[in-house]
Structure 1
Amino acid sequence: MKKLAAYNLLPWDDLAIICKKLNFNDIFQLSAVCKDWRSFFKSYWKNSMEFQSPLIVQRASFSKKSLSFISLSDNMSYSAQMDNFWSLSYSCSSSGYLIFVGPNMFMLMNPLTRRGKKISTLALKDNDDYRGSRAHFAFVKGSKEYVLVFFSNGSCRLNVYQSQNSCWAIYSTKGDPLQVVDLVVFQNSIYVLTNKAKIGVLNLNSTSLKFVELKNTPSITYNDLRLVSCDGNLLMVHFVPGKMLNMYRIDFSTMEFVRMDTLGELALFYSPYANCYALSNPRRWGYDSNTLYSITCSFPEYKVYSGNGKLQNHIRPDRGLQVPKRSILYWVDWYLPHLRDEVDYSLVE
């Protein structure tokens, strides 16, 4: 394959035919062969990955140079070598990228296109250890620029990196001490959720955070709230595994929280230390609607809850994986490779 690629003997039409016969593990390696194949894969990926089901990101405690990806819908596992990321802590997945945190930097990597980004945090000058931080990555609409937003647990501020000016901005809620617990891109704007169920919108053209006045705000103060954007709706999910599942839709026509008794045609994919993701029409990927799929992060298992929070199934699948010596497998997050968030600077007043 490398010799053929070096001489550019394979036209893209032939590569497309070959890709249809490869399993996903081979496709992981395709873009690493040469520049021409990487360019082909970028085009092929955009057209084909919308049909790829959600994958579970798996790490082994004593084998940090590789990641495994588990597909529950077709009972398959795939691996990807990641030599440059072995010493970093995993944060979450966002817009097709896996986000890692290390000393004085964030590292982002798309495991399929092999595209990576390194963002220094030295300019923040606060000497914080950002391991354990939650982050969100989004592209700027109509350009090649991007935005990275992250917050640390218990923090009253957001840190925002904008590639167009290569600098960080700090958004603070200290005036009304509220902890940021989640954020999401909705309709090309970044929405923030606090531990008191207050929702704000970031102004990327300044360092302001404008909170939205909403009626029927639930009277709760928790750190396990999640914002979810899917199918043109912004949802707030309060999920405690085995105890409760409360869901609300933010109705912007009446400016209020609306309690949801069912997820309808949506499925949620929950990770306790990362983001919560959603899919509409999940049956096309082999998942059920009105269902929440939750991983535990402490070992490889998942639980299936109905839309009313009732536990339906508790599964610890044995996939015959070769576990490195002394290692323990961890499921750390869901990876939805086809999702891509974009922000629009012109929407900010």
Structure 2
Amino acid sequence: MTMTYILTRNEDDDDNASSSETIETDDVGPWSYLNHDVLLLVMMQLGVIDFVAFSGVCKSWRSVALSNWKTFMESKPPMLALIPPNGHDDRQCWLVDSKGKEFRTIIPHSGGWGSVGLSCGYMILLRWETYDFWLVNPITRHELHFPPAPCVSDFISKITSVLFFSPSISRLVFVILASNQIWFSIENEGAWNRVSSTFDFTFKDLHVFKGRIYSVSNKGHFCELTLQPEPKLTLLETKSLLDEDVSFQELVSWGENIYVRENLKAYKLDFGEMEWVPFQYTGDEHAFAFFISHLSHSAAAKPESWGSEPGRCFINEGGGKARFFIAVEWYFPHECLNVNLLQDA
């Protein structure tokens, strides 16, 4: 499927410029020979939308953009993701950056597909009639397809999914959690494999952290998922928070730590004591926020500011605890083109 990009600008941008204004010149050679250090300084000041245009100017500029892609994307705060309701053959996906600039991607033949998550910069679309998955990266335009999943039923409260690259088989692997079952499919194999489990608790999330796949239950049971030599879940002994009033939602990682969210609270896993402890905001070394998506996965990121950007809801629980930004759906530039690498070799 082919996707088309449309770049738009706010009316406040370039007050002295006209949309019909053109600049004609035959002397364009020097632009491609600008010093790469200067180009890098300029590029790092751009937003994600302008970065896409920057990378398409010429081969030299594209080389600078691609070689510094990871550094650039990791420096950018999450973007709002807007997808119109199902029912149209061709729908547009809007990504809105912190300055209000829009990046539109047309997704042709997307009628009958619904967005059920994000992983590694890919929007995960599910076809409601057949339950097959279509993964689309709106920035790179790369696409993946996985066959109908046997665990997806007519009633879906939430599908959790992760995408990663397995060095041992040199393939991408897509893992989903639905109806309290965990299944995985290997790229281009056209089949699903179930991960056996004898646990009677309810799994809430899947997350890749430091090359390993973890899952957490609603009461804090912490498991590691391995696919080789055979797929299985291993319970890691933790001092779980089994209080009836506590209900964990999802795993989120930042730096060297992994956290679990419970409404507007966060708990950090102390790997030394294997205990979930309440997270406390204590200073600059923890200057990040939890970006909570209602329709997709959440993530921790270091935004450019804590201000109230367009369409964002800023919540500070107070008492020195975690900070939260809440929206219907976030898109995380720092995950784009950064497919999780599994340590299974």
Q: Which amino acid aligns with 1:137?
A: L
What secondary structure does 2:267 align onto? Answer: strand
Which of the residues 127, 132, 136 maps onto 1:105? 132
- Give the number of the structure whose alpha-carbon radius of gyration is greater: 2
Report how far residue 169 of structure 1 moved. 1.6
Report how far residue 60 of structure 1 moved. 2.7
Report how far residue 86 of structure 1 moved. 4.3
Alpha-carbon separation, structure 2, partners of 1:109 and 1:126 = 22
Q: Which amino acid aligns with 2:232?
A: S
Aligned to 1:3: none
Q: Which amino acid aligns with 1:112?
A: I
Report how far residue 312 of structure 1 moved. 9.5
Does 2:330 correspond to 1:334? yes
Report how far residue 156 of structure 1 moved. 2.4
Change (3 A) 1:38 1:110: farther
Alpha-carbon separation, structure 2, partners of 1:125 and 1:312 = 38
* Contact 1:138/1:342, CA 8 A, preserved across alignment: yes
Aligned to 1:253: 272
Q: Which amino acid aligns with 1:257?
A: W
* Contact 1:146/1:162, CA 8 A, preserved across alignment: yes
Q: Which amino acid aligns with 1:176?
A: F
Aligned to 1:50: 74
Which of the residues 150, 161, 175 maps onto 1:135? 161
Alpha-carbon separation, structure 2, partners of 1:144 and 1:130 = 34
Aligned to 2:223: 200
* Contact 1:197/1:220, CA 8 A, preserved across alignment: no
* Contact 2:223/2:236, CA 8 A, preserved across alignment: yes
Report how far residue 204 of structure 1 moved. 1.2
Alpha-carbon separation, structure 2, partners of 1:311 and 1:190 = 24
Aligned to 2:96: 70
Percent identical pairs in the alignment equals 24
Aligned to 1:161: 185
Aligned to 1:178: 201
Report how far residue 40 of structure 1 moved. 8.4
Task: Judge which range, 163-172 or 131-140, deviates more.
Answer: 163-172
RMSD value over aligned CA atoms? 4.1
Alignment map for 1:1-349 (pairs within 5 Å): 13=32, 20=43, 24-25=48-49, 28=52, 42-43=66-67, 45-61=69-85, 65-72=91-98, 74-102=99-127, 103-121=130-148, 124-125=149-150, 128-129=153-154, 132-141=158-167, 145-152=171-178, 155-163=179-187, 167-173=191-197, 175-205=198-228, 206-220=230-244, 225-239=249-263, 245-262=264-281, 264-279=286-301, 282=302, 285-287=304-306, 302-306=313-317, 308=319, 332-339=328-335, 340=338, 341-346=340-345
* Contact 2:183/2:194, CA 8 A, preserved across alignment: yes
1:208-238: per-residue Cα shift (whole Å, max 9, x none)? 1011111253424766521111111111110
* Contact 1:31/1:114, CA 8 A, preserved across alignment: no
What secondary structure does 2:69 align onto? Answer: helix
* Contact 1:180/1:194, CA 8 A, preserved across alignment: yes
Runs of 5+ unmatched residues, structure 2: 1-27
Q: Which amino acid aligns with 1:110?
A: N
Task: Judge which range, 133-142 or 215-224, deviates more.
Answer: 215-224
Q: Which amino acid aligns with 1:274?
A: S
Change (3 A) 1:44 1:251: closer
How high is the TM-score relative to the length of structure 2? Answer: 0.71
Q: How many residues align?
A: 300
Report how far residue 46 of structure 1 moved. 3.7
Task: Judge which range, 253-262 or 219-228, deviates more.
Answer: 219-228
Alpha-carbon separation, structure 2, partners of 1:178 and 1:268 = 26
Alpha-carbon separation, structure 1, partners of 2:101 and 2:274 = 44
Task: Judge which range, 132-141 or 104-113, deviates more.
Answer: 132-141
Change (3 A) 1:199 1:23: closer
* Contact 2:280/2:322, CA 8 A, preserved across alignment: no
* Contact 2:281/2:322, CA 8 A, preserved across alignment: no
Report how far residue 77 of structure 1 moved. 2.5
How high is the TM-score relative to the length of structure 1? Answer: 0.70
Change (3 A) 1:120 1:12: farther
* Contact 1:184/1:227, CA 8 A, preserved across alignment: yes
Alpha-carbon separation, structure 2, partners of 1:256 and 1:343 = 24
